[in-house]
Structure 1
Amino acid sequence: MNTPPWPPGAERTDGSAVRIGALVPLTRPGWVEAGRHLLAGLELAVGEVNDAGGIAGRPLELVVRDTAADPQRAAAAVDELAGLGVAALAGEYHSVVARAAAARADALGLPFLCSSAVLDALTEQPTQWVARLSPPQSRGWQFYADFLLAAGHSRIAVATQPSVYWASGTRILRDYLTPRGGTVIELDMSTLTPTAVCDELVGHRATALLLLVGHPEPAVPIVQSVRRDQRLAEVTIGAPAGQPEFAEWATLLGDDGAAVPFLRYRPERLGPVGTRVETTLRERLAAAPSFVAFEGYDTIAVLADLLRTHGTDRARTAASWPRVNVAGTRGQIRFSRVPGIDVWQWAVPPIQVVDRDPANPDRFRIRHAG
């Protein structure tokens, strides 16, 4: 049940719930499985906060809105949630959606802790209202490029679709690889079939193909075509955006989905907080929790700490990002101003390149860590 809105930034002292708005992709064309993991992490942390006494004795309430990977729908949800009096916003997985939400949050003066979107340009200008847990795309994808170079790949094809996110990823890879002797060959999936991709790989003598496309379409048919083409038996397929992290990938592709390296934002070994949370999330999800679920949990852990320490006034919350020092599931979380990034940023979230083990596709192998 929705409670009446109150003036932006106002404190409530009547014992009513402290509300956090959650933006999550829960229906197509959003990545539903990622949204389910994100929401599981958010909800687990809210439950633990309330079990520990809430926010100064007031219960913490999550008000969830489905973005369905639609930027306009997300912006409208931010307007609605602001009117409902939420103390802050949390969540979102898709970068182009998070960017729309961040713009509205900045305009409305509503604190937004972005859980999982990586696009560097999350806002068009520096803002005090937005912070982010996941690493910026430039850091993660340059790390992935180092992995490719170390593995001996210099002719790298990218199968891509029209998108700000994919275009940004292609640019990061090209700018980083070209001065180091690499070549990036762009394959436009708006004009190519999966079979034609195979011919392009042969013609360009590419040794790696990166999937900068949607999942399951056209990612799954591309993988199947490449795996079945004997000319491409030595070609590495990669997915820096993390599609193979989720169970749906393994379900749809089986053995074909193994040995596809992707970026994962967690350490090699979890600490006490991460180990405890992983156990509970595994039970809730009936599957191994992805790094996205950990990002959801950490989002609420940070916001709850801010609200307990500094109160629920929105301006005070936004002014307190640089004071955050929270033990998260994947390390100690602190925010700073990172050069080239216009939001408050957790500067050192852990990054790995991981794939599914061909001998056991349910098990992950760490290929590159830092």
Structure 2
Amino acid sequence: MTTPPPSPLAAGRSDGASVRIGALVPLSRPGWVEAGHHLLAGLELAVHEVNGAGGIAGRPLELLVRDTAADPQKAAAAVDELAGLGVAALAGEYHSVVARAAAARADALGVPFLCSSAVLDALTEQPTEWVARLAPAQSHGWRIYADFLLGAGHRRIAVATQSSVYWASGTRVLREYLAPRGGSVVELDMTALSPAAVCEALVDRRATALLLLVGHPEPAVPIVRAVRRDRRLAEIMIGAPAGQSEFPAWARLLGGDSVAVPFLRYLPDRLGPLGERVEAALRVRLGVAPSFVAFEGYDTVVVLADVLRSRGADETRAADPWTRVAVEGTRGLIRFSRVPGIGVRQWAWAPTQVVDRDPARPDRFRVLHTG
């Protein structure tokens, strides 16, 4: 772990009228823009509510938003810029590879970074006290997804995948979990295969499930269309553990083909009073039902506001702002701990579901499995 300078938490509170938080969000392509808008909506709503309740010791909270565009280098540069502006902390990011670059710079600079939504287990190369995460680690969530596959009778799994640390990590989690339980995973390299060739491979391999470990909308949407139109594959299940099928653009692009594609969602079976209130406010802000990513954004600011309010009472927390957090979020009580194999402070764990769009009502989601 690096030995950082004094925490910018102090700098973020010592000059100017506001307490600043730097927000890293994918708002342009090739980033997942729809997820970015949901994440930002949650962040902004929580900032609005914190300020409505008196801010941080009477000072308003201010969000400095930077578009990462799913670019690790752009994210690292944004961290440098925001640290230079004296932000109290960093928040956000959806893409795991981008969040990893941001976390490395935050650790090097001694800037607290609460990662909202990225799940890659190895968010940092070495343990650090400067970074914490709300989203469940990939190994946790994807094992729950593997349990769902086994429970649904799927043993021969094909994954359509692209070159990425995130997709490779997901494939490894699935293979290591399924193999001892009688399952197998075959990889279909989408840099070499067309959607039609994917269909042929699925028939040859006698796969019963195809998981989309690829970008959205390309090549995910063409793959779904090809598989749905191949009569030989009428019984195959298509899944998207990373959540491509949750967002409205998926339904708009695929119409009737958008349904029955299970994905991971980090929400409880039932929201409490806070969650229900926030859901209603987010729906107004977004114009659509909020995804779990919007709740992650809201909870991020709730945690950071708690950290910032309590620092005046305990300045020794500067090198580890997360240990004493115990705050009610939209999805339950949030605390951070050390989890074996994960180098950052982790909320273990956010509620996890496997969900799909209901064929009878594509705008409604069915909970298929909980973990």
TM-score norm. by structure 1 comes to 0.96
| 2:234 match | 233
Deviation digits for residues 148-197 of structure 1, max 9, x if unmatched?
00000000000000000000000000010011100101000000000100
Paired residues of 1:324 and 1:335 also in contact (CA < 8 A): yes
Does residue 160 of structure 1 match 2:155?
no
| 1:244 match | 245
Structure 1 SS opposite 2:27: coil
Instruction: State the Cα distance separating 1:14 from its structure 2 match.
Output: 5.9
Paired residues of 1:8 and 1:314 also in contact (CA < 8 A): no
| 1:283 match | 284
Instruction: State the Cα distance separating 1:8 from its structure 2 match.
Output: 3.9
How many residue pairs get aligned? The number is 365
Change (3 A) 1:14 1:219: closer
Instruction: State the Cα distance separating 1:15 from its structure 2 match.
Output: 6.2
| 1:300 match | 301
Paired residues of 1:131 and 1:344 also in contact (CA < 8 A): yes
| 1:175 match | 176
| 1:92 match | 93
Task: Supply the distance in 2 between the matched residues of 1:93 and 1:343 (Cα, whole angstroms).
Answer: 16
Structure 2 SS opposite 1:26: coil
Task: Supply the distance in 2 between the matched residues of 1:94 and 1:317 (Cα, whole angstroms).
Answer: 27
Q: Residue type matched to 1:70 in 2?
A: D
User: Where do residues 1-370 of structure 1 align in structure 2 (5 Å cutoff)?
Assistant: 8-11=8-11, 12-13=13-14, 16-311=17-312, 316-370=317-371
Task: Supply the distance in 1 between the matched residues of 2:202 and 2:7 (Cα, whole angstroms).
Answer: 58
Q: Residue type matched to 2:98 in 1?
A: V
Task: Supply the distance in 1 between the matched residues of 2:311 and 2:303 (Cα, whole angstroms).
Answer: 12
* Percent identity of paired positions between Structure 1 and Structure 2: 78
Q: Residue type matched to 2:34 in 1?
A: E
Paired residues of 2:112 and 2:321 also in contact (CA < 8 A): no
Deviation digits for residues 214-260 of structure 1, max 9, x if unmatched?
00000000000000000000000000000111000000011101000
Paired residues of 1:15 and 1:57 also in contact (CA < 8 A): no
Instruction: State the Cα distance separating 1:316 from its structure 2 match.
Output: 3.0
Change (3 A) 1:314 1:160: farther
Instruction: State the Cα distance separating 1:45 from its structure 2 match.
Output: 0.1
| 1:3 match | none
Structure 1 SS opposite 2:323: helix
Deviation digits for residues 105-155 of structure 1, max 9, x if unmatched?
000000000000000000000000000000000000000000000000000
Paired residues of 2:39 and 2:297 also in contact (CA < 8 A): yes
Of 309-318 and 327-336, the range deviating more from structure 2 = 309-318
Change (3 A) 1:230 1:102: same
Q: Residue type matched to 2:55 in 1?
A: G
Instruction: State the Cα distance separating 1:280 from its structure 2 match.
Output: 0.3
Task: Supply the distance in 1 between the matched residues of 2:128 and 2:108 (Cα, whole angstroms).
Answer: 10
Change (3 A) 1:17 1:154: same
Change (3 A) 1:331 1:7: closer
Paired residues of 2:9 and 2:89 also in contact (CA < 8 A): no
Structure 1 SS opposite 2:64: strand
Paired residues of 2:243 and 2:263 also in contact (CA < 8 A): yes
Instruction: State the Cα distance separating 1:311 from its structure 2 match.
Output: 3.9
Change (3 A) 1:276 1:152: same
| 2:3 match | none
Structure 1 SS opposite 2:157: strand
Paired residues of 1:9 and 1:314 also in contact (CA < 8 A): no
Task: Supply the distance in 2 between the matched residues of 1:312 and 1:64 (Cα, whole angstroms).
Answer: 29
Q: Residue type matched to 2:335 in 1?
A: R
Change (3 A) 1:220 1:311: farther
Task: Supply the distance in 2 between the matched residues of 1:169 and 1:149 (Cα, whole angstroms).
Answer: 16
Task: Supply the distance in 1 between the matched residues of 2:15 and 2:205 (Cα, whole angstroms).
Answer: 67
Change (3 A) 1:314 1:291: farther
Task: Supply the distance in 1 between the matched residues of 2:253 and 2:347 (Cα, whole angstroms).
Answer: 34
Q: Residue type matched to 1:323 in 2?
A: R
Task: Supply the distance in 1 between the matched residues of 2:52 and 2:131 (Cα, whole angstroms).
Answer: 28
Task: Supply the distance in 1 between the matched residues of 2:20 and 2:173 (Cα, whole angstroms).
Answer: 38
Structure 1 SS opposite 2:211: strand
Task: Supply the distance in 1 between the matched residues of 2:323 and 2:8 (Cα, whole angstroms).
Answer: 22
Task: Supply the distance in 1 between the matched residues of 2:181 and 2:355 (Cα, whole angstroms).
Answer: 23
- Please list every run of 5 or more consecutive structure 2 residues that lacks an aligned counterpart in the other structure: 1-5
TM-score norm. by structure 2 comes to 0.96
Task: Supply the distance in 2 between the matched residues of 1:278 and 1:164 (Cα, whole angstroms).
Answer: 32
Alignment RMSD? 1.5
Of 127-136 and 316-325, the range deviating more from structure 2 = 316-325
Task: Supply the distance in 1 between the matched residues of 2:314 and 2:88 (Cα, whole angstroms).
Answer: 7
